[in-house]
Every structure is written in C-alpha cells, then in structure tokens.
Amino acid sequence: MLHHQNINIAVDAIVIAYKEQQLFILLIQQKYGIYKGSWSLPGGFVLDGESLSGAVQRELKEEAGIKVNYLEQLYTFGDDVTRDPRGQVVSVAYFALVNPSKFKLQANTDAQDAQWFPANDLPSLAFDHAKIIDKAIERIKGKLMYQPIGFDLLNKEFAFSDLENLYKTILGKNIDRRNFRKKIMSFEILEETDKIQQIGSGRPAKMYRFKKSKYRQLEKEGFHFEIKFA
C-alpha cells in the first residue's frame, strides 16, 4: 500500500558552553520567515541524500560559522504536530558541550546574528526550542552520574575548584566538596601539573589536566558517580 506523506525532517543543535561559572547556550537570530528577528537554536531541514549528523554540522557552519567535533543525539521532537508553523516537522536534536574560547561565532546564510546567552536568562525563543533546551540540560545533569564531564568545557589546565564549580553550576546545587574530591581523584582521570594558580590572597591552588587516555576510556565505558550535596 502506498502512503503519501508531507512530513519534513529537521535537525536542531543545542551547543552548551561553560564560562565564568555559568552555562551558556548558542542561539542564532532568524533572518527570514515568520520568526524573522527571533532567536532560536541553530538548525534547519535535512537535505535530500543528507545524513542527520551531516545536516546538523552544515547548519552550525552556515548559521554560526563553527564546527563541533562531537555531537550527541538528544531526542526526536514530533509528538506535537503543530510545533512548526510551516507544517508537520519532525526535529532530531543534537547537543554538544564546548569551551567557547575555542570558537569564533559568525552568522551566515539564514542567520543575521549568532551569540552566547546565559542558560538562565534566555530571550523568548522561536518554535519549541525552550522545551528542547530544557531537555538537553536535563540530559546533562543525568550524564554527570555515569560519564565524566569537563574535558571539552574547561581549559587545558585548571584548578580543582574549577571542576567543582562546573559540576555545581550544572546541578544547580552545592556539593560536598570533600566527598567530590575523593571520588574524582579515585577515577585517576586527573594529573597534577607543575603549575600553581594564585587567586586573590588565598592559598595557591595546584593546577591539573585530564589524563586523555583514561578520561576517554571512562567516557566510553561509563562510571557510577554518586554525588553528595552539601
């Protein structure tokens, strides 16, 4: 039996950055269409013969001028058939965690601007993109329990307090610092450098970096990390 469908497939990218103890979301400003001037996630329709991953990388390049090394598929949004005023559109969302210092944003093609916005202070968003972002933040909070996070978010060398603050920022809660340090060090994913960091008049802090091979191994295999809160 033949079926005639008029459904479009799209992709959306939730690129999440961390700086100044805040999470930031990459948004682009729509250049055309019913949402012209509104902010939204980078994304668009999948072209004929194009893979989903290829489409999301193309849209990031066209609309924000960046290429992200690794994107993870988040969720498929399509239960609400009215989510897009242009017709029935099913969107496959991808998310990435990045260090914003490694990217220079440049709006192009369908976007008139591209900017980082604090995750807790986003503008009004087009389509159902606020819902998509909420889903991505929820997923990241869950990942903290079974996958180490930080390699792509922190600088190459960092104080241990930077890693603590990253977890605290994502979870939105204060953590038991002593327990956190003990657990993290037990995974053997950090190594001390010969550098120290002086912050104000406080005690100098040792600088660390991730052991790439061990970090990638745990990232692939997963780990159980029960975080205690203060």
Sequence-separated (6 or more) residues with CB below 8 Å from residue 217: none
Through-space distance between the first and last CA atoms of the chain, rounded to whole angstroms: 61
Confidence (pLDDT) at 213: 93
> What's the residue count for the chain?
230
Can you name the CATH fold of 8-122? Nucleoside Triphosphate Pyrophosphohydrolase (3.90.79)
pLDDT by residue, tens only, the chain of 230 residues: 667 788 999 999 999 999 999 999 999 999 999 999 999 999 999 999 999 999 999 999 999 999 999 999 999 999 999 999 999 999 999 999 999 999 999 998 889 999 999 999 999 999 999 999 999 999 999 999 898 888 889 999 999 999 999 999 999 999 999 999 999 999 999 999 999 887 666 678 899 999 999 999 998 888 888 899 98
User: Is residue 206 within 8 Å of 181, Cβ to Cβ?
Assistant: no
Structure tokens at 85: 């005023």
Can you name the CATH fold of 158-221? Arc Repressor Mutant, subunit A (1.10.10)
Q: Where are the domains of the chain?
A: 8-122, 158-221
